[in-house]
């Protein structure tokens, strides 16, 4: 389990899209703000989540808008590829950190891309970076500490924590390696590229599988 077991007061979901993950997160928190840059996606998410009284939806441009408060948990699934360049990613990473309460957690899921490591398995998407670089960027933020990382050949889930006022020592993160994902994603035709081999990209198929794994680790 990656989300902290203690009750979470305020949580922020970045890039909620049409709200498939939102109902899984809502029961774990007292108040959830689910955000997206698309008004259409937010409208569909609101319909999907009718009856969830602790959830509100907010139109939000992650790259340019100020964060809507301080949070005990920020969740970010497959969003940070789209920040533009590496400098923009670093700026967003700092904003993420600044918006966490001391001891608060940042949970992220992103796919592994060939651009990060051409010699390893990954997806050959036209994006400037993937999960590996995103995780490394977050790890360089001074007051963030990587607690746990779950890796498969094709995606990574990172759990970071904002260091508290008195927690000055960095601890070694727990790294969990899983190797079972390549076979069924290759069969699904998800744009997998192995060394010396590539296939056509299909982001939506991977997205469904990533979200399934994300729900499981809650």
Write out pLDDT tens, residues 147-202.
999 988 889 999 999 987 655 566 788 888 876 544 444 444 444 444 333 333 34
> Does residue 32 belong to any structural domain of this protein?
no
pLDDT at site 3: 76
Name the more confident of 108 and 173: 108
User: Would you say 57 and 34 are in contact if contact means Cβ atoms under 8 Å apart?
Assistant: yes
| Mean pLDDT in residue range 50-62 | 95
| Mean pLDDT in residue range 125-135 | 94
3-state secondary structure of 77: strand
Domain count, the chain: 1
107 beta partners = 75, 159
Provide the domain limits for residue 199.
61-216
**Residue 167 maps to which CATH number?**
3.40.50
3-state secondary structure of 210: helix
Cα 176 from Cα 157, distance rounded (Å) = 10
> Does residue 116 belong to any structural domain of this protein?
yes
Name the more confident of 122 and 34: 34
> Does residue 172 belong to any structural domain of this protein?
yes
pLDDT at site 168: 53
């Amino acid at each position: 389990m990656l989300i902290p077991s203690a009750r979470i007061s305020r949580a922020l979901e970045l890039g909620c899209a049409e709200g498939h993950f939102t109902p899984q997160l809502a029961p774990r928190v007292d108040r959830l703000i689910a955000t997206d840059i698309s008004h259409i996606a937010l409208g569909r998410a609101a319909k999907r989540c009718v009856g969830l009284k602790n959830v509100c939806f907010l139109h939000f441009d992650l790259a340019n808008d100020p964060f809507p408060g301080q949070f005990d948990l920020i969740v970010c699934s497959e969003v940070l590829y789209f920040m533009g360049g590496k400098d923009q990613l670093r700026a967003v990473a700092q904003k993420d950190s600044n918006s966490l309460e001391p001891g608060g957690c940042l949970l992220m899921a992103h796919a592994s891309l060939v651009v990060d490591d051409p010699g390893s398995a990954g997806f050959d998407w036209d994006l400037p970076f993937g999960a590996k670089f995103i995780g490394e960027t977050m790890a360089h933020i001074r007051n963030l500490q990587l607690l746990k990382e779950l890796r498969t050949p094709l995606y990574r889930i990172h759990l970071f924590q904002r260091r508290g006022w008195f927690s000055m020592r960095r601890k070694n993160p727990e790294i969990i390696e899983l190797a079972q994902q390549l076979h069924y994603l290759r069969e699904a035709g998800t744009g997998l590229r192995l060394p010396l081999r590539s296939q056509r990209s299909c982001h939506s198929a991977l997205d469904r599988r990533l979200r399934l794994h994300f729900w499981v680790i809650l």
